Structure 1
């Protein structure tokens, strides 16, 4: 019969504490009923549960099957959740000085898992998002304050005179209304910044006379022009830069948060947002990392002949519980025992829910037939399909598809 048992990892830590529970019952159970001791329950074989509040929790599992009966395992005081060590608020802003109107992108750099933010920009304005953008419209020096908090901790940081907004001088201006995204802009060989998609790029207070404007971007031809400016004059620029002919491809990677490290095939390529020209066509392993965030991993296909592959990598905070994917397993013939990463899940056909994104091993066994084993790539909110073609003469692997953005329906 069924004998219930389980493990959890980790069994202690600070809140919020996410624990991965694993069914280790014997007797091939097909049904599970978990009680996590904090009012939470689940009915899958290997659930993940987040404990939000400090305390000691008793966990029980009832495992059963139609043929093996039912069994319950209780571990008293199994999980210990300590109070959070607290939030330490911090932030950065880019740029911190310039002419009005000055647009500054603020980014939260607090540690300790904040879920709420209160910004005071020092000019009578405020915001409640993690990474706000704010426009300082009047000249002056501004003190910026951020209060970061969650349900258990709060902390504030104040940076005096952090932003300096200046009145433009009597010189001329250059207004770049179009250029490829993230082109570097140089005036008289001095870097002025990077263009942004569908945003006008201004250079103000330029001395009178002839000034050289140059825009560059890997994989594109340079834009170079000598511009004659007088006091109060504005030169409007459309930088028609063309992609250079190449047999390789181009990879454009946007990251959230900005400044995340981008790895291609295990090699650090730079920080996001990132534009990589001359990338060899084919499948590449892309990984994006940032402190206090979960790693982002994906296989991407880069085409040749100058084609651009656009990728957006939005990283989850480290305290975030990621979404799950699904695996639908069927076999020919049916009634095979399905295993996920070595843990029995039940008889085929069946659907496995709450499967963590990533690569997993699915194995199907049926008396009188060769075992079938295959690796599947599970994506958030999507379903991977496995069809195990059982045969006495060998294993016939089938393809795996990940389709749809919704869980499987019966």
Structure 2
């Protein structure tokens, strides 16, 4: 009986050990237990969370759960939490979470102080121009000539005023924080015009009323109003001549097409030399007489024999 009890106990222990091993294997194979998490907590709701430079979500109800891979070695993850009007939180994470566990990371954002601003009061003559601050339009000047700009960021600002018929006004102005900076501006009328000269081909010399002023393409400013003669010259091309009228405050475009100079080369003339007839050989009279004399002597000698 005692032996049977021992056998039953051994069998039960064996079964329990097997069940334990199976449960361990199941836990090991469970992907949820092979994954860890970072619980990102922040004091700013809807703050944006970036993990290794990638957006992973927003803080909701104070936290955001970010899945992380397991590693037995130190890791290097870059965490950034950002929200408008707050400082940006940055942290380098070097410890990986344990399987099925979460590492809590708290990122506290600090509210930025409100930006300092000032007021800019412009007295502009004549009125009607458009005002730009740092290349952003701030409206048209009313007939009173007074243009007040409020809540302008303190510090140096680029102010530009444009009005047709007048030269653009530009100046760097320092806006005092919590103060009213006053500036008086008088626009200067435009009394000249410009020419925008281009050509085909380019790089042609430009002459205005006979004086060289540049090479195409070129803008020629500050020309007095009235008629002008424009000449374009380029080596290998015929001169181009034109006339236009300079208008105050306007840029007149001029385009000239240059014609290549064609050099006419005479065609070669093929001259065939005439054949000179070869004269037929003629016998010299002396030679003929010599032969006749020799024949006569031979005949006489033959008769004597």
What's the TM-score once normalised by structure 2's chain length? 0.27
What's the TM-score once normalised by structure 1's chain length? 0.20
The structure where helix makes up a greater share of residues is 2
Higher relative contact order (CA 8 A, sep 6+): 2
Highest CA radius of gyration, 1 or 2?
2
